[in-house]
Structure 1
């Protein structure tokens, strides 16, 4: 760390030790001292202040990068200077890899530092590979100069691209690796100008590089890209100029390696630092930087739109996190499809998205939101429902604070979410039931019959109209938690094994979790979770006993058991009415509440619809 302020060094050191407790940290309070420390210790990352007496940060960075031993060490500028375009360009021109503003955002600092460490790790690996290659080639280079053609054949065994060429770039020798790489024969390559293999816009730059070599500076190293069969390839080359005893140029000798994979890895790291890995949209870090960049008079009116996906937790709990991820991806897609190419769309939280709309007034923003809503409605089905709450605010005058605009947009979004989310959760319950019924037609018929039997028992117990409606709904959704059970288990032909029973027995808790997320189903969730409890306390999931079990749960238990016994199953035939009733009587006071069984037995024979067909 290089900073003339001792307090800054102490703060940075504490911040680093918190996230990386085992690293060794060296500090310097001037550019000159920092360069000397780097020479001795070869650090993995250099944190550098810009404003320092004497040698400033830019010059320090330039001198560090000028040293071949240090040019692979990532440099992060940590400064109180504005992160405007001018300062960032100066930082990049001096060789720095990143730029962090003071006061430091701890999360951004951690992400940047971790990213730089990965780049350093990759640079070390590549450097070691290059060093090994250079050592191998250098051992042979001395023998190659002026050797006869037969001795040059040893270069064919090397994995690097090796060529010899004249000042006009005419190739006089290529090894087999060079031929394989460009998919051309040696005969086709010899006599051809290698510059013709490069993109037109890079030929002059490469030509100047090798022609600048001299007896005092006979070698160089550089990176360029070529298009090979329509694919972009990156190469790292080292040119050596061969001079005679009088210092006259004879030819050039060049060694290259393909670094495409390294470049892709670096680009991926850069992409991930500004993008959300799931949706491919920009992330919060990029969004915040763009808000600052676009907060200019030329972009007014500037509108910020906040969007929040409703019911994501309910979807995660019901269908699993993979389904929740798909919901977020669909939300991202439907927003993207309605926006312009220049609009900034970012995922800024778990279920939150944010849009920056330059030169967009309130009415235009509302039209955009309306288009998104229309697309959402078109895409929703009985088994899939997406709902997004929006809020927006517009900056129309330069004096307005962009942070307040952002806060206003967020507040409006939360106000809309307060009533839209409740409606969405109710729709999601309906979607979950439809999905369950699609997974298993048997579950659909079973749930409807249990609901009917619950209604009849409630009537026999003289429940009032509201109580009867509640128990009917509870009977219909009592197995909603089975949405999380594998379809193969639900429809299995034959008896379930132990592991499958364990999975099935989780469904009451799943049902409670799903239903309790919706206000109007919260009370019902308490009845549903207990419908497998037993009168003797030997049920599940909470071993409730007797009247500890809600009466509604006791009603569902009898209705559920009766329908299960008298319905067709893939692994057994249905019981007769008489046998099923005998089972209920046999387990009265053990599994079932005697009062509920008695009420059930009072129901007229022809009142219950059944699979059996005998009543």
Structure 2
């Protein structure tokens, strides 16, 4: 609703602006000089917004009929004046990965009912440093005799909103103490591969055996330090296909997809071997019990796989004698 109202207001101003330009071709393209109080109020209402507003003609040639804030603020006085009649210059400020999507917008190859998200460098300094502002654009096509002849758009800076959203998503999916994924993420990951994504998967369940005795004898602050040490050790073995999670107080897991059994076994053997080296000379070693389960297919198998890895972890717990894990495959 907000976008609709703003769009109506912007459309009114842009129509007014282009009408004035048509009547005064010799004036600067971005200059709008209201002649009565209604025009002043209408223009002021939109130009006091923090949004970016433009009207872009596609016929008879590409050109910006109106832009606010003016391009002079984005490109500098001299270059800014040229952008109106040479709109390709504006594309220099768009992130390279987003330019093709904007060209599709100009060709009418997008759904104008949906917002368009892209990055643009605002100002010469930002362009020089490669710093981009994230925009959400709502675009209204203008047709004449069935032909797309112009676009009017409203761009909203959503950089801060996007960062806040990323922070919120991170907090929802990550363990506060360790920075690893949390139990909720672990359960959603299992559900995804159990119901929709069918591929080779593995689960590695790990228990931090000496956490309770450390908490009881040295205090929970030292116990937290031990938990974080275990997390840092596991992060070293994480990748795009291998994700680590803390799924309980002293329980961790690796979620692994799209790796073959041989690769997984080599990876796990490396982890177990390096754990022995890691513990050498440490006052409080990481005493880990490890259980491993693998399946060539995932759909309908994830709960069974988790139960198998968990069972093997407890078997390893009873079998262990030293600080290093002795996981069997």
Using structure 1 for the length normalisation, give the TM-score: 0.38
- CA distance in 2 between counterparts of 1:163 and 1:401 reads 53
State the secondary structure of the residue aligned to 2:235.
helix
1:161 to 43, 49, 52: 52
Is the contact between residue 274 and residue 285 of structure 1 (CA under 8 Å) also seen in structure 2? no
TM-superposed deviation, 1:359: 1.5
TM-superposed deviation, 1:307: 0.6
Larger Rg belongs to: 1
- CA distance in 2 between counterparts of 1:150 and 1:195 reads 24
Where does residue 413 of structure 1 map in the other structure? 313
Where does residue 86 of structure 2 map in the other structure? 192
1:147 aligns with 2:53: no
Distance 1:139 1:314, change over 3 A: farther
Question: Which runs of structure 2 are paired with 1:34-433 in the superposition (5 Å)?
Answer: 127=2, 130=3, 133-134=6-7, 137=10, 140-148=13-21, 149-151=31-33, 154=44, 156-167=47-58, 169-176=62-69, 180=73, 182=74, 184-185=76-77, 186-187=80-81, 189-193=83-87, 194-212=90-108, 222-228=115-121, 229=126, 230-240=130-140, 251-282=150-181, 283-289=185-191, 292=194, 299=200, 303-316=202-215, 321=220, 323-338=222-237, 341-357=240-256, 358-361=259-262, 364=266, 367-378=269-280, 381-382=282-283, 384-395=284-295, 403-417=303-317
- CA distance in 2 between counterparts of 1:259 and 1:389 reads 46
TM-superposed deviation, 1:335: 1.9
Moved over 6 A (4+): 246-250
Is the contact between residue 156 and residue 177 of structure 1 (CA under 8 Å) also seen in structure 2? no
State the secondary structure of the residue aligned to 1:209.
helix
State the secondary structure of the residue aligned to 1:254.
strand
- CA distance in 2 between counterparts of 1:224 and 1:401 reads 38
State the secondary structure of the residue aligned to 1:147.
helix
Distance 1:403 1:241, change over 3 A: closer
Distance 1:220 1:192, change over 3 A: farther
State the secondary structure of the residue aligned to 2:261.
coil
TM-superposed deviation, 1:288: 1.5
State the secondary structure of the residue aligned to 1:407.
helix
TM-superposed deviation, 1:147: 1.8
Using structure 2 for the length normalisation, give the TM-score: 0.65
Cα deviation digits, residues 303-362 of structure 1 (max 9, x gap): 532111133345456666555444323212212324565224322222211224532258
- CA distance in 2 between counterparts of 1:368 and 1:335 reads 12
Distance 1:285 1:268, change over 3 A: farther
Distance 1:411 1:197, change over 3 A: same
- CA distance in 2 between counterparts of 1:303 and 1:248 reads 55
- CA distance in 1 between counterparts of 2:228 and 2:304 reads 29
RMSD: 4.4
Cα deviation digits, residues 410-444 of structure 1 (max 9, x gap): 123234445869x88xxxxxxxxxxxxxxxxxxxx
Which sections of structure 2, spanning at least 5 residues, go unmatched?
Answer: 22-30, 35-42, 324-329
- CA distance in 1 between counterparts of 2:217 and 2:8 reads 60
TM-superposed deviation, 1:223: 1.7
Where does residue 593 of structure 1 map in the other structure? none
State the secondary structure of the residue aligned to 1:353.
strand
Distance 1:278 1:188, change over 3 A: farther
Is the contact between residue 166 and residue 252 of structure 1 (CA under 8 Å) also seen in structure 2? yes
Cα deviation digits, residues 510-536 of structure 1 (max 9, x gap): xxxxxxxxxxxxxxxxxxxxxxxxxxx
TM-superposed deviation, 1:377: 0.9
Pick the structure with more helix per residue.
1
Pick the structure with more strand per residue.
2
